[in-house]
Amino acid sequence: MTESARDIEGEASYFAAARSTRSFLTKLCDASHGSSEGSSERRAEYEARAPGGQASSSSGITRRALITGALLSLVIAVGVPYCSMIIQGSRLGLSSSTPAAFFLLFVWLIVPQTFLALVHRKWAFRREELITLFIMMAVATAIPTRGFTGMLLPMITGAFYYATPENNWAEEIHPYLPDWIVLKDPQVVKDFYEGFTHKAGVPWAVWVGPLFWWLIFIGAFYLVVICIMILLRRQWVEHERLVFPVAQVPLAMIRDHSKPSVLKPLFKNPLMWVGFALPFIVNSVNALHHYYHFIPAFGSGTTISLFRRTISLRIRLNWLMFGFAYFINSAISFSLWFFYLLRLVQEGTFSILGIGNPEELGPWTDSGEVRSILGHQMMGSIIVLVLFGMWMGRRHLANVFRKAFRGDSAIVDADEILSYRAAVLGMLGGLTGMGFWLWRAGIPAWVIPLLFFGAFAIFIGLARTVAEAGMATVTPAMVPAGFIVSGVGSSALGQTGMITLGFSFVWAGDLLVFMMAPVANAMRMSREIRGRKRRLFWAMIVAIAISLIASLACTLILAYKYGALNLHRQYFGTFAQYPFSFAVSKITSPTGFNLIGWLWTVFGGLMMALLMVAQHRFLWWPLHPLGFVVGAGWTMNNIWLSVFLAWLIKIIVLKYGGPHLYRSTRPFFLGIILGQFVVAGFWLLVDAFTGMVGNTIPVY
């Protein structure tokens, strides 16, 4: 069985061994505690992956791959905001699975790659080059809309445009805003929201200052994200062997047999095209209904009210999660839908009995007396998940820091995209830069470590769920700002600190798209690149820089031409007011340390710890702790049925057909995933040519 097949399949021998206490713990401890990282076996493994069995100093990441990846990143940086705000169609940037990258990789493999191979076989892009293209496109996709740009521009202007005598922002907000991170010119702000009143063009000079300082901050943040994933890569990929279902799809798309072919083998598989056709046809009918209303559309699901109408159960098929869930461990997929239904029972029961926590924690954090409890439970479970993962990988992390600070030659880091020393220094330097920036903006110095702890616990925990549970989109029930307000109280922050904490919604608020997810998948895919991989780090930096600058420029041009309010009401209406309505509510009604919230957080952490102990001690234990983490978030509302169906089909396939039948059916589910991504991109192109607006196909 090939290495990539073991990564996806793993339901027979490996799953049984992993569920055994002795086998599982021995495997993890030996991998993380042993000396394999610095042993001759590690060196031999690295050298064996190089061509000819020699440690290759060359890289498969070529100049043409970097240039092509940069151009495709530019296409994404300009195309995603244009499609979202002008065409208002399918949002190929609104998911941590980075749909735009999947769509463009599919197009590249079908058209340019095939053309190059037909003209001259050696002109076609090699496997390492295609991996580089996808990674650059993936990180570029995580920026243009709700990843950063779509949140930043409205939030640094909204305090002035939406200030009214009724909300009293002129007195409560404006005097405490740091001048260097917001745009205060009233005419410039008015033109941004309403469009040009003259032909002067975009006032770039006014925007340069605030954007420069925000780019400094987000650059440091992205550096920290990449460095953390470099430090965790070996533990997740090689020691724990997480499945990375999202990364498996592009790897399957570019996989060749022993001899490279003009068209990749996946695209020659009829079963793949059968799966591809299902979402493509269904969504195309719905898209045609948008053009011609006499064409009947497929329903988007229904909702069932339960527990005296206190909760709703959504019945809907999500094609993406239906496909991804087929590749994850059956225990995880079972636990995802089981804990979600259990969460609904808890929510309904608490609502009827009047059990709640009267705490308002702001946007993107579950609010209401019952849902705030779920937010605290999820936060506690994420913290335990991350801390437990660090404990299990403690020897690996110790080796990392020994290599970084002592230069231990016995520890090999040649197969990382950065040396461990550079990654550790990059992480510490990035955190220092972020901390100094936040302190200068007004957050008390003693709060910043707590904010970092909450934020990066959420990022790492969510990235872990993407890597292990294949979640195309996953969001927390609590965001870092809510964690801080509940944990230390708004009165401890002061007015300026509370307002600056509101700006954390720019980089740690919505989290429908967060950079750590595509970076985690990139770390998995980097294992497939032979030879030295250091160019991949710079490829990611180039893609990020292009996406940041081009998406900001594109959005500003569109806003001043059409008026931001006409582009996207949610971004430039609702989101523009979030930080300030949140801050004002806490400034006018200060809150302190919330004991009830902390108790529920501890309860969630204890439950998570018990689930982890049960998983590792009892062979028969059916519940995976990851389900408890994900089940508390609202993401499961739309995908639980799809996860259930994929789990049921996989159980039947494995029981009656075994691993062989499972491997044979994989192309069908790969086709379902690709079909959903491609149909969304296809109709975006059609809508762009026809001028149709609002024809949306979901890709999250």
% of the chain surpassing 90 pLDDT: 71
Q: Is residue 27's pLDDT more than 60? A: no
**372-391 burial, b for 16+ CB within 10 Å, e for fewer?**
bbbbbbbbbbbbbbbeebee
Write down the domain spans for the chain: 149-247+297-653+656-688
Chain position carrying tokens 């029930």: 477
Q: What separation in angstroms does the CA of 649 have from each of 327, 330, 656, 668, 675?
A: 11, 10, 11, 12, 19
Nearest to 573 by CA among 262, 93, 259, 155: 155
Two structure tokens written together for 540: 């990611």
Mean pLDDT of 581-605: 91
Residue 237 has a pLDDT of 94
Two structure tokens written together for 606: 């204890």
For 342, the 3-state DSSP assignment is: helix
Q: How confident is the model at residue 197 (pLDDT cuts 50, 70, 90)?
A: low
pTM above 0.75, yes or no: yes
Sign of the CA dihedral 516, 520, 525, 529?
positive
The amino acid that residue 264 corresponds to is K
Sign of the CA dihedral 107, 110, 111, 117?
positive
Q: Is residue 143's pLDDT more than 90? A: yes
Q: Is residue 469's pLDDT more than 60? A: yes
Q: Is residue 15's pLDDT more than 90? A: no
Q: How confident is the model at residue 690 (pLDDT cuts 50, 70, 90)?
A: very high
Q: How far is the C-alpha of 568 from the C-alpha of 552, rounded, in Å?
A: 15
Question: pLDDT per residue over 519-543, tens digit each?
Answer: 999 999 999 988 788 899 999 999 9
Nearest to 666 by CA among 101, 265, 103: 265
Two structure tokens written together for 388: 């437990």
Question: pLDDT per residue over 424-463, tens digit each?
Answer: 999 999 999 999 999 999 999 999 999 999 999 999 999 9
Nearest to 342 by CA among 602, 636, 113, 65: 636
Residue 433 has a pLDDT of 98
